[in-house]
Every structure is written in C-alpha cells, then in structure tokens.
C-alpha cells in the first residue's frame, strides 16, 4: 500500500473502482455470491490504535485478507466488493472472482450491502460478509454456507454473540439485513435461522478493537494483516 495509492483523489478513486465492475455474473453456477462492504480505509477502524502499525494500512489489509479468504472459498462463485476505496481493487489484482461496485451515496452498512445485492442476482444464493475478518479461513466460510444452503435466511453471530458476521438468503428470497450493534437479535427477528457455528470459528472473529485484533492474530491473521502488523502483532 504505497503513498501514491493513499493520495488518490476521490474522483479518481471512484473511476478505479468502476473500471473493475465489468465482468458479468454467470447465469447459474450453483455457487454463492458474497457481498463484502468495505469503508474507505481513511475512515475505518478508528479504534484500532496499534503502536507501530499504521491504522489506515491496517484497516485496508484486514479488508483485503477477508476478501481473499472469501474468494478462495470453494462454494463461492463471485465476491462483490462494495467500496469507494480505489486502492482496494488496486491491491487485489491477484485475487480471482471479484467484482467491485462503488458505494456512492448509499450511506451506511445495510445500504452498501443493498448496492452489492442489486448488482447480483436472486437466481443465486447470496450472503453478506463483514469486511473485518482478518483470520477468516475459506473452509470456515464454506462450513457456514453449507449449513445455510437449505434455509431461506440464516445468520452467524460474532464471537461476542450480539453482532452478526454473515447473513444469507437462498435463491429467490428477497434480501434483508440489519447490521450494526446488536444486529444478531434483529436478524433473527427478520427470520434468519441462527447457524450453530463453533465458538472458535474464524468466521465469528470480527475486529473493531485492539483486544479483538489480538484474538484474530491468535487464530492466525491473513498475510496482509500480518505484514502490516509486523512486530506489533504481539500486542499482548
């Protein structure tokens, strides 16, 4: 993540993202579309103050590790990344099956996810995945998607049990989500079935605080996050 990328203007950033939205969706490959909303790194993860690590670079690395893990999942046909951060596509050129959609004026997590869902199709099963799961393993995401495959709607709780890291809708089911503080109960109220995902699953360890980052590092953070942290990864 170079200084040149950091200095990209908003207009140029949006053009960068838009330029990579051209690849079409398959009509039906039997796999999942996973939408990952990503805030511009300059505005994300404000509570991640790790000595020796640049917060903007860290926020971006966490998102890139999450995106790469989702794209590597054997059940995922396409990952739709909703972001206005032009450096995300620039640093994800080695990751297959990605489509980038600018957030624009969506405003808020659910609105950004809705933008990604509008760019996909109800002919495929869909999921919204938080973009702050730096330790995510593709096999853990696959485990949840298999469990969700027979359900109209499903949700995975975060490690604390109050938030949500993954929400799904099966083929032909309209999309609804209610992310934010206390979202797990709201998603259940929307009709999502709570999936019995093990406490130790990397899918449940989202990161907003230094303490949560330590827990993710203990699970095994992805290569980009690890590279940014360097010696700071041992923040105990």
Give the residues across from 33 on adjacent strands: 78, 126
Quote the pLDDT of residue 109: 94
How many domains are there within the chain?
1
Quote the pLDDT of residue 81: 98
CB 110 within 8 A of CB 177: yes
Helix, strand, or coil here: 86? Answer: coil
Q: Is 180 annotated as a binding residue?
A: yes
* Structural domain contains residue 111: yes
Please state, in angstroms and rounded to a whole number, the distance separating the CA atoms of residues 113 and 164.
Answer: 14
Quote the pLDDT of residue 233: 46
Quote the pLDDT of residue 119: 92
* Structural domain contains residue 80: yes
* Structural domain contains residue 24: no
Q: Locate tokens 């019995």: which residue? A: 196
Range of the domain at 88: 29-233
Helices (H) and strands (E) in the chain, counts: 9, 7
Which portions of the chain are predicted below pLDDT 70? 1-30, 231-236
* Structural domain contains residue 40: yes
Which CATH number goes with the domain that contains 50? 3.90.550.10
Quote the pLDDT of residue 99: 96
* Structural domain contains residue 112: yes
* Structural domain contains residue 41: yes
* Structural domain contains residue 97: yes
In the chain the first and final C-alpha atoms are separated, in Å, by 26
Please enumerate in sequence order all residues whose Cβ is within 8 A of that of 202, keeping only pairs 6 or more positions apart, or say none.
Answer: 133, 135, 136, 137, 140, 216, 219, 220
* Structural domain contains residue 144: yes
Quote the pLDDT of residue 97: 93
């Amino acid at each position: 993540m170079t200084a040149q990328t950091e200095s990209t203007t908003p207009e140029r950033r949006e053009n960068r993202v838009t330029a990579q939205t051209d690849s079409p969706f398959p009509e039906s490959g039997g796999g999942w579309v996973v939408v990952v909303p990503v805030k511009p790194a300059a505005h994300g993860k404000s509570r991640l103050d790790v000595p020796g690590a640049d917060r903007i670079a860290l926020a971006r690395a966490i998102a890139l590790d999450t995106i790469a893990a989702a794209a590597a999942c054997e059940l995922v046909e396409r990952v739709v990344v909703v972001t206005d951060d032009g450096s995300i596509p620039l640093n994800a050129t080695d990751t297959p099956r990605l489509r980038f959609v600018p957030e624009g004026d969506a405003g808020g997590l659910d609105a950004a996810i809705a933008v990604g869902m509008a760019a996909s199709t109800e002919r495929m099963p869909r999921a919204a995945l938080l973009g702050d799961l730096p330790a995510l393993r593709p096999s853990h995401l696959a485990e949840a998607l298999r469990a969700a495959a027979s359900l109209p709607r499903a949700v995975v709780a975060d490690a604390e049990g109050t938030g949500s890291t993954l929400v799904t809708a099966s083929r032909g089911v309209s999309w609804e989500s209610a992310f934010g503080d206390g979202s797990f109960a709201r998603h259940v109220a929307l009709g999502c079935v709570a999936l019995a995902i093990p406490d130790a699953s990397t899918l449940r360890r989202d990161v907003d605080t230094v303490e949560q980052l330590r827990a993710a590092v203990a699970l095994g953070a992805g290569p980009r996050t690890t590279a940014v942290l360097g010696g700071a990864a041992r923040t105990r």
